[in-house]
Structure 1
Amino acid sequence: MNGNSQRFLPGAHTGVPTTYEMLKEEHKVAVLRVPYSLAPTVTTMINIRCKMLVPNHIIWSLCNTIFMNLCCLGFVAFTYSMKSKDQKMVGDVAGAQAYASTTKCLNIWALVLGLLLIIAFIN
């Protein structure tokens, strides 16, 4: 009886594995794969140039020009802030930082002197 039953199984007499055996083999291959954490990693480095973060203080200079323009310090600060913006657009980071530093100092002086003038007028 065993000889007759093997004739009716697909692939038993031809040497071709059955679908079940192929699926079982694929499962074994899937189980034997290397875990993701142990697999060699491939890295790619991408250099992204970020924008230069140099503040040019244009808004502060504009406010000082309009509201506290004592001795034209606000206008001078606005001029330096525009020069800082131009240097940043060209790509000169050192020049943009130098103009931004000067702009910040001029804006501080314009603000302090303007507030002192307002306080003097109130008293």
Structure 2
Amino acid sequence: MNRVAQAAFPGAHVGIPPAYEMLKEEHEVGVLGASQSPAPVTTTVINIRSETSVPDHIVWSLFNTLFLNVCCLGFVAFAYSVKSRDRKMVGDVLGAQSYASTAKCLNVCALVLGILLTIVFIIIFATGSLMIFQAVSQIIKEYGGY
């Protein structure tokens, strides 16, 4: 195997770098590097509009509309999300950001209120169930049940 490697790569272990021939294209580029003509240099500027990513929060708004629609905040957030997406399609980035910001604020409010109301409902349900259980057990004791 050593013999094959030496035959395939002669001079690899000798320490002498192999001689490369200069390509014609590289030589021409080197020669044409500086323009010596008296003609004015013209430039072409291409303005590439950067695709600014504006999140429209439409999925979050749809979730809030379906599950946490406290005071219709989820539905209003969904409407603003659709407006933001429309503005983005037209190319109005500032309008899209404005509508997206409003939709995000409404989504946060709907989410916080939905979670708080869910927690309050669970607490009321748990304490109500406990009170009903105590009342039933007291009635059973009074009337000679178990």
TM exceeding 0.5: yes
Partner of 2:87: 87
The one-letter code of the counterpart of 1:68 is L
The one-letter code of the counterpart of 1:121 is F
Shift of 1:45: 6.3
Q: Deviations over 1:43-101 (max 9, x none)?
A: x8654323231110000000000000000000000000000011111111111111000
Say if 1:59 and 1:35 are closer, same or farther in 2 by CA, change over 3 A: same
Say if 1:35 and 1:110 are closer, same or farther in 2 by CA, change over 3 A: same
Partner of 1:119: 119
What percent identity do the matched residue pairs reach?
63
> What does 1:94-109 correspond to in 2, within 5 Å?
94-109=94-109
Partner of 1:64: 64
Q: Using CA pairs below 8 Å that are at least 6 residues apart, which structure has the higher relative contact order?
A: 1
Q: Is 1:73 matched with 2:81? A: no
The one-letter code of the counterpart of 1:48 is I
Structure 1 ranges of 4+ moved more than 2 A: 33-36, 44-52
Partner of 2:55: 55
Shift of 1:116: 0.1
For residues 61 and 50 of structure 1, the distance between their equivalents in structure 2, rounded to whole angstroms, comes to 27
For residues 49 and 85 of structure 1, the distance between their equivalents in structure 2, rounded to whole angstroms, comes to 18
How large is the Cα RMSD of the aligned pairs? 2.7
Return 5+ residue gaps in structure 1 as ranges: 1-26
The one-letter code of the counterpart of 1:117 is L
For residues 57 and 108 of structure 1, the distance between their equivalents in structure 2, rounded to whole angstroms, comes to 11
The one-letter code of the counterpart of 1:112 is V
For residues 52 and 74 of structure 1, the distance between their equivalents in structure 2, rounded to whole angstroms, comes to 26
For residues 82 and 35 of structure 1, the distance between their equivalents in structure 2, rounded to whole angstroms, comes to 53
